[in-house]
Every structure is written in C-alpha cells, then in structure tokens.
Amino acid sequence: MASPYCRCCGKALTDPVSREAGFGPVCRIQNKFNQANERTQDMFAPPRADYEVSLIQGVVCIVDHDNGKSVTNDAELVIQDLQERRLLVGPFSEPRRVIYRDTMGVWDEILHENGKFAGFRPVQEKDRAAALAKIKGGQS
C-alpha cells in the first residue's frame, strides 16, 4: 500500500520503492527477518516456497513465484537448498551473493554464512538489471 511515510516507524519515505511498499528499507528488512524467524508449529502450515533460481553474472538470482510459502518465510530452507545444490560458492570457492525478488516485486539480498541463512540486506530495486548492477558495483 503506497504511503509517503513508513507504516512501521513513521519516517518520511523518499525513494519510489519504499513509497510503493509503504516501508523504509530498515523496517522492511526487519519485517523480513521477523518473518524468516517465525517458527510455525502449525500442521496446516503452507508448503515450501515455490521459486526459480538462475545464476547471472555469478550472482544467484531467485524469483519468488508467490505460490505457497514466501521465500522470505522460507529463507533458511532456501539457503539450505542452494547449499545442497552447491550454488552458494563459485568455482574458486568464492562465496556467491544471493538476491531474490520478493512477493512485492522488490529485489533484496539474502545473506549466508557457512552455508546457512544469515539475514537480509536491502537492494531496493524492482528491476533485476538494476539490482545486479547495485550488487556488483557495491561493497561486498
């Protein structure tokens, strides 16, 4: 829901992606982290996330098909999948960055450490090429 102010902390939102989401990057990522850490004991819990993985310019790009559990909710197991498929490291054992397009259509990074989920970081782009440019051009 579009809003000029963060619906979580009330700060004025300046960039279009934040305005469209209704949350600033800090609150958006905090919400994701909370979702990822929610342990559902519900036997009727939704199934695993449905997503697509591609390797582009050495970056693992995930698109959430928004069908069942979200990648955000399932981040820990998604990283585990990538680890099992040996996608988290490159040919020289260098760690690969992982970005994903969430159910809002925004690309963010999923952090991993030693093959395990380690959090989220805002990329804050709706276009994959722009997200890749940000990831490749920025700090590691």
Report 64-83 residues binding Zn ion (CB under 5 A).
none
Does 60 interact with Zn ion (rule: CB under 5 A)? no
**How are strands ordered across the β-sheet holding 116-125?**
51-56, 59-64, 98-101, 107-113, 116-125
Closer of 6 and 36 to Zn ion (Cβ): 6
Closest approach of Zn ion to the CB of residue 20, in Å? 14
- Supply angle C-alpha 53, 54, 57, rounded to 5: 145
Closest approach of Zn ion to the CB of residue 110, in Å? 21
Q: Which of 5, 8, 53, 81 lies at the binding interface for Zn ion (CB under 5 A)?
A: 8
Closest approach of Zn ion to the CB of residue 21, in Å? 10
SS3 for 72? coil
Neighbours of 103 (CB within 10 A): 14
Residues that bind Zn ion (CB under 5 A): 6, 8-9, 24, 27
